[in-house]
Amino acid sequence: MYELFNINNKVIVMTGGTGVLGTSMVSYLAAHGAKVAVLARNKAKGDALVEHVKANGGDAIFLQTNVTDKAILTQNAEEIIREYGRIDVLINGAGGNMPGATIAPDNTILDLNIDDFRQVVDLNLMGTVIPTLVFSEYMVQQRQGNIVNISSASALRPLTRVAGYGAAKAAVSNFTKYLAGELALKFGENFRVNALCPGFFITEQNRALLTHPDGTYTDRGNTIIAHTPFKRFGEPAELLGTLHYLVSDASKFVTGTIAVVDGGFDAFSI
């Protein structure tokens, strides 16, 4: 078991590493011996996370980034190589819905703001594609690479109101499968690409959609719970086991899969 799941000294790059799900993932991976490069926008949050990791005996660095900007990502990659010498795993965690791209309950698709729709697709789809291209260059040189994208329940079946986010995450799932085939066929079986597909976890990007300021659930929050056999939202820590499996050799023959972690939401109909 130890060898299969051993991630000691693996260099793992995580975009969106300062988010609610990202913070939990970065802390966990570093606690299990990985060297983690945390890439996100907010330097104060990033520095605090690195300090927390180091205080617990782990190894991490923070680099400010924008996942839609190839030039900044290229600088990030060079800095990671200077610091750690290689890149074993890329987790494309940056993403999320945006308030402007959400269709209000009283509106219809005809009211959709095209710029907001484009922005949410840009962050979630291009913010996965561009880092993948930048970091894959190093993986190809190393003849080994592992990429974990973050998809969403909204990719499996469209959710009401979040048309842009759902379209972008569906494209992330499709790109995951495309890239799994492409990299393995062109560069061999040491290249794997999978997606983690979380159901509903209350975080900053969806708090206003799912909860009222007093913490009680909105109608949408209650509808989600009613359609989840486990009858609750997920806890960020509940993604860690599946993530660990995907970044480790335990999933050595696994590529192009979408690993759903959702308390049964997708499986359930009536």
Complex with ligand NAD: residue 42 or 222, whichever CB lies closer: 42
Phi-psi region at 161: left, alpha or beta (left = phi > 0; alpha = psi -120 to 50): left
Distance CA 84, CA 106 (A): 51
Distance CA 157, CA 257 (A): 17
How many CA atoms within 13 Å lie on the side-chain side of 12? Answer: 34
DSSP state of 100: G
Catalytic residue, candidates 165, 178, 217, 245: 165
Query: Which residue, 12, 243, 258, 47, is CA-closest to 135?
Result: 12
- The helix (H) or strand (E) run that includes residue 75 is helix 70-84
- In the complex, the residues that contact ligand NAD under the rule CB under 6 A are 15-16, 18-22, 40-42, 65-68, 93-96, 123, 127, 150, 152, 198, 200-201, 203-206
Complex with ligand NAD: residue 88 or 262, whichever CB lies closer: 262
Q: Which residues pair with 119 in a beta bridge?
A: none
Complex with ligand NAD: residue 143 or 232, whichever CB lies closer: 232
Q: What Å distances lie between residue 254 and 131, 151, 259, CA to CA?
A: 21, 17, 11
Distance CA 124, CA 152 (A): 11
Is 245 a catalytic site residue?
no
Distance CA 196, CA 235 (A): 15
> SS3 of 228, please?
coil
**Nearest distance from C-beta of residue 6 to ligand NAD, angstroms:** 26
Contact between residue 242 and residue 198 where contact means Cβ atoms under 8 Å apart: no
**Nearest distance from C-beta of residue 52 to ligand NAD, angstroms:** 15
Complex with ligand NAD: residue 34 or 38, whichever CB lies closer: 38
Residues annotated as catalytic are 165
